Amino acid sequence: MQYRTEPVTMWFDRRLVLRPSPIQGIGTFATEPIQPGEMLIYVTGGVVFTAEDWQTGRISLVGDLYNQAILSENLFLATPKAFHYYINHSCDPNAIDQSQHPTATQYVAWRAIAANEEITTDYALYGEADIAVCGCQSRLCRGQITTDDWQLSAFQQRYRGALPWRIEQRIHQVNRSNETNQQNHET
C-alpha cells in the first residue's frame, strides 16, 4: 500500500502566540481577549501511515517535529507541530476540541479568555492522557488525570454539550450496555 498524505489545513487565530508555560514546557497564549465560542485553531489532515509503513521504513518522521494521533489500531496521523500541539492540560480549561472527525482538530474557546492567558484544555476529554501529578494549579484541579475520567458523572455533567463526539459515543455505548444489563436482570 502506498501511503497517502491527506490535504493539510492549518488555521490559527491571529491572537495566538507560543510562550514558555508555567504548566509545562511551551504553551499557546492569547495576546488579546477572546470571547466564548470563538474558533482558535483548525487543523485537518496530515501524513497518514500504518504500523507497517513505520516498521518497513516507508515512512520516516522526525518524532520531535510531528504531532501524532492514533486513528485506529493500525492507522496513524502526523501533523507538523504547531499551536494545536502546544495546548497544555488544565482541570479548569478555557478551550475544547470540538472537531467532528478523527483527522481534524478544532479548538473553540469554551469560556472568555483574557489577554495573556494560556489556552488550555482538559486532556481527559479525549480519553488519552495519563497525568500522575497535574501541574495546572487551578482551583478545580483533580490532582491525577486518568484515561477513565470521562466516566465520572460529575465530569460528564460539567462538560455537557461540549463533550467531543468520540467521548459522547463511548458514553452512549456504556449507557446502552447498562440498559441491556438491566433488562436482562429484570427478565
Chain residues in the site for Zn ion (CB under 5 A): 91, 134, 136, 141
Q: How far is the CB of 95 from Zn ion (least distance, A)?
A: 15
Max Cα–Cα distance, the chain, nearest Å: 60
Burial of 102 (0-12, 13-18, 19+ CB in 10 A): middle
Contact of 120 with 138, CB cutoff 8 Å: no
In this structure, the strands spanning 88-89 and 120-121 are parallel
Q: How far is the CB of 94 from Zn ion (least distance, A)?
A: 13
Three-class SS of residue 43?
strand
Q: How far is the CB of 68 from Zn ion (least distance, A)?
A: 24
Calpha distance 18→82 (Å, rounded): 9
Query: Which of 131, 162 has the CB closer to Zn ion?
Result: 131
Phi, then psi, of 52 in degrees rounded to 5:
-65, -40
Query: Which of 24, 169 has the CB closer to Zn ion?
Result: 24
> Nearest 5 degrees, angle CA 28-CA 25-CA 121?
45
Give 48-95 as a DSSP string: EEEHHHHHTTSS---GGGEEEEEEETTEEEEEE-SGGGG-EE-SS-SE
Query: Which of 37, 143 has the CB closer to Zn ion?
Result: 143
Query: Which of 78, 91 has the CB closer to Zn ion?
Result: 91
Query: Which of 129, 162 has the CB closer to Zn ion?
Result: 129
Query: Which of 69, 131 has the CB closer to Zn ion?
Result: 131
Q: How far is the CB of 19 from Zn ion (least distance, A)?
A: 20
Q: How far is the CB of 131 from Zn ion (least distance, A)?
A: 8
Calpha distance 78→113 (Å, rounded): 29
Q: How far is the CB of 135 from Zn ion (least distance, A)?
A: 7
